[in-house]
């Protein structure tokens, strides 16, 4: 008898960001020079004091199982961070530490959703949201947003999409893939609908520390007093501290939900890596100078990338106020031949850009938005310069 694959996994789309990154790595392994702007991960190494804390944890014998939902010291540090940064009062019992924020998302969906429940997701959305919702048996309901509105969902759009089956709104702010950041008025209008319609909100705020210019970041549950009871905040160390490989993320939620997510985790994965948890503790409690340094570098790269996009005929992008992505419009080139190959959609654009010019990006279609391409600017200025020179050559090669 051959082993058959479950229906649910058969229908699962693999992560396009990781797939493009794997393709880039494959080309690199063949000895090719690849300008990799595909996966969203800081190019910086994890700051030394954080690595040292990981080493110290190993030397001290913190190499055993921990509480499935995370070590108490880290939960306390997370609670204190939200107190200091956002004046939000949580108890350590409301925190669940997981194997990265992606795992936190899985915990939330599996703990709260039943088959047929609807989850509203504004598009463009990060690649894993819709697939994780579907895995839990629920239904992603997509609200398309437009470039002239900086890809932000309006309260009216939200209100018009709510049905009796709507259970949750998923809000990624700052946004992956567009870099947009909601201002206070926009968020307040959304929060009013959330309260009026009794919705539950998943606030993915993993890019909260990567905001540029004068635009302040506002954490969703700070807007009204009733919001923390109906919001789960997702965050982690991957982006802020250049710790993607350490795999530490967390949720802040009502205690009842945290308890159930902890129980789910106790059956599925047990604790996140003990050593990584101690490193994350050092990240949160140590000097934040490293965050300022990395954010300053990202801001410089953002300005550079915006200038380059503006200089390429036919390309455009909204203002990038946060995160480290540019989501640029390629519609001008659809239906044309680039390097002799017909380009009819964003996937063909990205694959040809990689094949012809060795620049790895991710197709907008993977983010629920055809006609666009995402490039990460979490790469050195030299790489960005070479990559955008090649993108320019690629779109200029119309034959
Ligand atoms: N949410 C968003 C919006 C992301 O971009 C990412 C990037 N991977 C995650 C969650 C998951 O992060 P982690 O590496 O902590 O799993
Ligand atoms: N969040 C990153 C990205 O969007 C990491 C890749 C992933 O986890 O899918 O590229």
Q: Write out pLDDT tens, residues 259-272.
A: 999 999 999 999 99
Q: What pLDDT is attached to residue 214? A: 85
Residues 152 and 200 both lie in one domain: yes
**Is the distance from the beta carbon of residue 40 to the nearest atom of ligand 2 less than 6 Å?**
yes
Residue 1 lies in a domain: no
Domain count, the chain: 2
Residue 367 lies in a domain: yes
Cα-based distances in Å from 259 to 52, 96, 99, 132, 266: 32, 8, 17, 21, 10
Residue 38 lies in a domain: yes
Residues 246 and 129 both lie in one domain: yes
Residue 210 lies in a domain: yes
Ligand 2 pocket: which of 12, 13, 18 to mutate (most atoms within 8 A of CB)? 18
Residues 249 and 378 both lie in one domain: no
User: Domain boundary at 263, 285, 307, which?
Assistant: 285
Distance 176 CA to ligand 1 centre (A): 9
Residue spans of the chain under pLDDT 50: none
Cis bond before residue 177 (omega within 30° of 0): yes
Q: What pLDDT is attached to residue 354? A: 95
Which atom of ligand 2 is least distant from the CA of 362? Answer: 10
* Domain containing residue 213: 48-285
Q: What pLDDT is attached to residue 178? A: 98
Residue 2 lies in a domain: no
Domain with 106 in it: what CATH number? 3.40.640.10
Q: How many CA within 13 A on the CB side of residue 22?
A: 6
**Is the distance from the beta carbon of residue 39 to the nearest atom of ligand 2 less than 6 Å?**
yes
Residue 372 lies in a domain: yes
Cα separation, 371 vs 146, in Å, equals 11
Residues 89 and 40 both lie in one domain: no
Residues 176 and 227 both lie in one domain: yes
User: Domain boundary at 259, 285, 311, which?
Assistant: 285
Which residues lie below 8 Å from residue 16, measured CB to CB, with a gap of 6+?
127, 362, 363, 366
Domain with 371 in it: what CATH number? 3.90.1150.10
Strands 166-172 and 118-123: parallel
pTM, to two decimals: 0.97
Residues 123 and 38 both lie in one domain: no
Residues 13 and 85 both lie in one domain: no
Residues 119 and 233 both lie in one domain: yes
Residues 192 and 337 both lie in one domain: no
φ, ψ at 359 (rounded to 5°): -110, 120
Distance 279 CA to ligand 2 centre (A): 21
Cis bond before residue 174 (omega within 30° of 0): yes
Distance 2 CA to ligand 2 centre (A): 33
User: Domain boundary at 267, 285, 303, which?
Assistant: 285
Residues 389 and 316 both lie in one domain: yes
Q: Classify residue 283 as exposed, middle or buried by CB count within 10 Å of its CB (0-12, 13-18, 19+).
A: buried
Residues 114 and 263 both lie in one domain: yes
Which atom of ligand 1 is least distant from the CA of 103? Answer: 16
Q: What pLDDT is attached to residue 16? A: 86
Residue nearest to atom 12 of ligand 1 (CA): 101
Cα-based distances in Å from 5 to 8, 12, 132: 8, 11, 17
Residue 96 lies in a domain: yes
Distance 207 CA to ligand 2 centre (A): 12
Residues 130/121, Cβ–Cβ less than 8 Å: yes
Distance 243 CA to ligand 2 centre (A): 13
The pair of structure tokens assigned to 63 is: 């190499």
Ligand 1 pocket: which of 174, 236, 325 to mutate (most atoms within 8 A of CB)? 236
Q: How many CA within 13 A on the CB side of residue 60?
A: 11
Cis bond before residue 124 (omega within 30° of 0): yes
Residues 88 and 37 both lie in one domain: no
Residue 331 lies in a domain: yes
Which atom of ligand 1 is least distant from the CA of 126? Answer: 3
């Amino acid at each position: 008898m051959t082993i058959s694959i479950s229906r649910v996994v058969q229908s699962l789309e693999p992560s396009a960001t990781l797939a493009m990154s794997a393709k880039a790595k494959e080309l690199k392994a063949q000895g090719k020079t690849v300008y990799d702007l595909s996966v969203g991960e800081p190019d910086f190494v994890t700051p030394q004091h954080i690595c040292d804390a990981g080493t110290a944890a190993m030397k001290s014998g913190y190499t055993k199982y921990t509480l499935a939902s995370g070590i108490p010291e880290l939960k306390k540090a997370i609670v204190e961070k939200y107190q200091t940064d956002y004046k939000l009062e949580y108890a350590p019992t409301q925190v669940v530490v997981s194997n990265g924020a992606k795992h936190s998302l899985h915990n939330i969906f599996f703990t709260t959703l039943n088959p047929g429940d609807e989850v509203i997701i504004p598009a463009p959305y990060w690649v894993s949201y819709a697939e994780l919702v579907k895995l839990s048996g629920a239904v992603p309901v997509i609200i398309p947003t437009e470039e002239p509105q900086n890809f932000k969902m309006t309260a009216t759009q939200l209100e018009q999409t709510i049905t009796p089956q709507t259970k949750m709104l998923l809000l990624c702010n700052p946004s992956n893939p567009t870099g947009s950041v909601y201002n206070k008025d926009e968020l307040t209008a959304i929060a009013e609908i959330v309260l009026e319609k009794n919705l539950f909100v998943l606030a993915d705020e993993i890019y909260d520390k990567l905001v540029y210019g004068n635009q302040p970041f506002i954490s969703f549950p700070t807007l009204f007093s009733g919001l923390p009871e109906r919001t789960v905040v997702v965050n982690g160390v991957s982006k802020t501290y250049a710790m993607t490989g350490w795999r530490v993320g967390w949720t802040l939620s009502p205690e009842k939900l945290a308890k159930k997510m902890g129980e789910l985790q106790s059956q599925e994965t047990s604790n996140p890596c003990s050593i990584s948890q101690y490193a994350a503790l050092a990240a949160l409690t140590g000097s934040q100078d490293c965050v300022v340094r990395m954010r300053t570098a990202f801001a410089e790269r953002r300005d550079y990338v915006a200038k380059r996009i503006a200089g390429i005929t036919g390309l455009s992008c909204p203002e990038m106020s946060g995160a480290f992505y540019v989501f640029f419009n390629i519609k001008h080139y659809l239906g044309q031949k680039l390097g002799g190959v017909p380009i009819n959609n964003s996937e063909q654009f990205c694959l040809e850009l990689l094949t012809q010019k060795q620049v790895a990006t991710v197709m907008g279609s993977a983010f629920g938005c055809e006609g666009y391409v995402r490039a990460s600017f979490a790469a050195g200025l030299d790489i960005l310069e070479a990559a955008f020179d090649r993108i320019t050559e690629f779109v200029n090669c119309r034959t």
